[in-house]
Amino acid sequence: MSLRLITAGESHGPGLTCLVEGLPAGLELHPEELDRDLARRQLGHGRGGRMKIETDRAFVTAGVRHGHTLGGPIALQIANRDYSNWEERMNPWPVEAEVPEVHLPRPGHADLVGVWKYGLTDVRDILERASARETTARVAGGAVCRGFLAALGVEIRSHVVQIGTVHAPQLTAPLTVSDFGGVDDDPVRCLDAQASRAMVDHINVQRKANESIGGVFEVVAYGVVPGLGSHVSWETRLDGKIASAICSIQAVKGAALGDGWELAARPGSQAHDEIFYSDERGYYRETNRCGGLEGGMTTGEPLIVRGAMKPLPTLTKPLQSVDISTREPAQALRERTDSCTVPAAGVVAEAMLAFVLADAYREKFGGDHIDDVRDAVARYCERIGWQPR
């Protein structure tokens, strides 16, 4: 049994839709938990004016009754409050007013290649769907997947480890779930207060210089059973699915599992996680350099993935481009934008990791009702002698 997550909608259209198909019946959901993740996606120093307009809420229109899933597709809708300012430009149906086309593609965005690919002449036909506003629907669907995982003892957290040239200090001990208690209260969702202040200052400097700024976020999943994914074929390797999901987030240009690229510079004795056994703990590792994945499968250790996000392509001081109607030099489109969205990207990455893991659990354990899934997981853990830690 597999899981599907589909989104629809444009940045300034009437709203966004998410469809999640494949979850079992009987799963308890809470509206405040869905809305909480949507609010978290809007956090972070460096956000633009759009966040002052939108207060995102997910409205369930199918698949849930009296707070429990029914086993069918779950449909969620998020209204775009800003649509009232864009009704003529983004109306699904013809309007009487003349709406000018946009002919100024932005370097680093989907604009130019999109109009080539789809045979269009108006850049707005591309940029509205390519916009990171689409991730609002992903976060709503990811919150549903997070609820499924929580029922199985899995918790997912994220934090920011780099913004621009500012790095948080390397940790001396593995993070636990409790270490993330106040991460959303920090202006850049960083766990180190001194690094956070430096990141905020760096964003301010770059914003005054009309620049956008990127960075790196880290997502950690706790309580994941060993053996999700498979080594037997390339498309079933879970690390590949996770990397694909993280790199599907707008502006993310790289994903690293565990120590990632750092492993390339180490000798083998310092790159792998040695295996130990005791009667009290069973099999265990002293390190987690692989990030909870070996051979395309989860190891039972915390699953760790990082995403590298480039600076946003919409700049308050636009880059050089070409007018696609005249082919004359011009400045790229100037649009309302954020200076930095790395803190929000971490929340989106939580949603994407939740989806991939929920799909892996559904594939391995099946079950028409959530109790069937719990029983299957319990039997498996008993067979392999594994307990969450």
Sign of the Cα pseudo-torsion (315, 316, 317, 322, in order): positive
Q: What dihedral angle (degrees, nearest 10) is formed by the CA atoms of 209, 211, 216, 217?
A: 100
Report the DSSP beta bridge partners of residue 79. Answer: 15
What CATH number has the domain bearing residue 151?
3.60.150.10
158 within domain boundaries: yes
27 within domain boundaries: no
Which residues in the chain show pLDDT less than 70? 47-54, 336
CB 293 within 8 A of CB 239: yes
CB 304 within 8 A of CB 219: yes
Report helix, strand and coil shares of the chain as percent, to nearest 5: 35, 20, 45
60 within domain boundaries: no
Give the model's pLDDT for residue 2: 86
Give the model's pLDDT for residue 1: 72
How many structural domains compose the chain? 1
CB 352 within 8 A of CB 246: yes
Which DSSP category does 172 fall into? S
Give the model's pLDDT for residue 269: 94
Give the model's pLDDT for residue 175: 96
Please enumerate in sequence order all residues whose Cβ is within 8 A of that of 53, keeping only pairs 6 or more positions apart, or say none: 81, 82
Give the model's pLDDT for residue 338: 85
Give the model's pLDDT for residue 317: 86
Which DSSP category does 12 fall into? T
37 within domain boundaries: no
Helices (H) and strands (E) counted in the chain, each on its own, are 10, 17
What is the helix (H) or strand (E) element at residue 293, kind and residue range?
Answer: strand 293-294
Closest CA to 40 of 52, 56, 59: 56
Q: Please state, in angstroms and rounded to a whole number, the distance separating the CA atoms of residues 261 and 248.
A: 19
Q: Please state, in angstroms and rounded to a whole number, the distance separating the CA atoms of residues 134 and 11.
A: 7
63 within domain boundaries: no
13 within domain boundaries: no
314 within domain boundaries: yes
Give the model's pLDDT for residue 46: 74
Domain that holds residue 247: 102-384
Name the pTM for this structure: 0.95
Map residue 24 onto helix, strand or coil.
coil
